[in-house]
């Protein structure tokens, strides 16, 4: 299995063989999507564009839908939820469809919508994603970091390295045998540096610092930094719609 890492959606090439795409937004979109589905949301619809989100949400029964999202880390006006993984509790999301738009994560998901298999990953569900990729026996996997408005982000690259490391451990092989590009090798090195304290890496990242400036996000940091706390693999079931299969 060959894993290539693109640190931003903009870095994803328009062509080339990709059997599966794994999108990462550790802080916080793909962590939130994982917890929402684990806690009983029936689907998460993802949008880069807010007007498209509002149109799609309007077509869903009012008592079954929740609007969720942020820009720059702040909850969108008139929305039911922001983008905190600790807010999507069973009491809030069970039986609901989430309509989610975030600054970077949902844009990254849109970028790879046409890939045959699309999954979301965070530090929480590394082992589950590895098991899914192994079961599918896919050859060419594109790991996509969400970054921040087109720039590299430390925390997504950390998780990309962690995913490669977990994959190689599961296969009993050297991670470098699965490294498809230098970005992937650099992400692995990052994981090797921070693996014993991923939360410190998340807090050091510029977006981690942004969240700390916006207020107390300690619970979010703890949740987002927890390795293998979730067994779900959010899977694109229709273009732009994620569920559990």
Residues engaged in binding ligand 3SL (CB under 6 A): 25, 27-29, 70, 73, 83, 102-105, 146
Residue 119, helix vs strand vs coil: strand
- The conformational region for residue 168 under phi > 0 = left, psi -120 to 50 = alpha, else beta, is alpha
Residue whose CB is nearest to ligand 3SL in the complex, by number = 102
Nearest distance, CB of residue 75 and ligand 3SL, angstroms? 9
Nearest distance, CB of residue 148 and ligand 3SL, angstroms? 7
Residue closer to ligand 3SL by CB (options 160, 188) is 160
Residue closer to ligand 3SL by CB (options 28, 132) is 28
Q: How far is CA 228 from the centre of its chain?
A: 14
CA separation for the pair 21, 119 (Å, rounded): 6
CA separation for the pair 147, 158 (Å, rounded): 12
Residue closer to ligand 3SL by CB (options 25, 183) is 25
Q: In this structure, are strands 117-121 and 20-24 parallel, antiparallel, or unpaired?
A: parallel
> What is the C-alpha radius of gyration for the chain, rounded to an integer number of angstroms?
16
Cis peptide before 20 (omega within 30 of 0): no
Nearest distance, CB of residue 104 and ligand 3SL, angstroms? 3
Nearest distance, CB of residue 173 and ligand 3SL, angstroms? 32
Q: What is the DSSP string of 90-116?
A: HHHHTT-EEEEE-SSHHHHHHHTTTSS
Nearest distance, CB of residue 102 and ligand 3SL, angstroms? 3
Nearest distance, CB of residue 34 and ligand 3SL, angstroms? 12
Residue closer to ligand 3SL by CB (options 147, 175) is 147
Residue closer to ligand 3SL by CB (options 88, 168) is 88
| CA distances for 59 relative to 54, 62, 64, 99, 167, angstroms | 9, 9, 11, 11, 40
Residue closer to ligand 3SL by CB (options 102, 157) is 102
The tokens describing 230, both together, are 């979730």
């Amino acid at each position: 299995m060959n894993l290539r890492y693109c640190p931003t959606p903009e870095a994803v090439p328009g062509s080339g063989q990709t059997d599966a795409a794994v999108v990462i937004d550790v802080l916080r979109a793909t962590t939130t999507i994982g917890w929402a589905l684990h806690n009983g949301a029936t689907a998460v619809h993802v949008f880069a564009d807010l007007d498209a989100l509002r149109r799609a949400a309007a077509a869903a029964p009012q008592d079954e839908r929740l609007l969720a999202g942020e820009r720059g880390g702040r909850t969108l006006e008139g929305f039911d939820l922001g983008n905190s993984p600790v807010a999507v509790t069973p009491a809030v999301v069970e039986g609901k469809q989430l309509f989610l738009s975030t600054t970077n994560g949902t844009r990254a998901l849109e970028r790879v919508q046409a890939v045959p298999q699309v999954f979301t990953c965070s530090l929480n569900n590394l082992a589950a994603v590895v098991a899914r990729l192994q079961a599918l026996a896919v050859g060419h996997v594109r790991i996509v970091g969400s970054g921040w408005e087109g720039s590299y982000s430390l925390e997504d690259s950390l998780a990309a390295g962690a995913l490669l490391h977990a994959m190689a451990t599961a296969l009993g092989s050297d991670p470098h045998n699965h490294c498809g590009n230098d970005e992937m090798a650099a992400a692995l090195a990052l994981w090797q540096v921070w693996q014993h304290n991923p939360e410190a890496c998340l807090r050091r990242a510029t977006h981690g610092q942004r969240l700390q400036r916006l207020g107390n996000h300690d619970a979010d940091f703890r949740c987002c930094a927890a390795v293998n706390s979730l067994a779900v693999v959010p899977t694109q079931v229709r273009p732009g719609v994620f569920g559990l299969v």
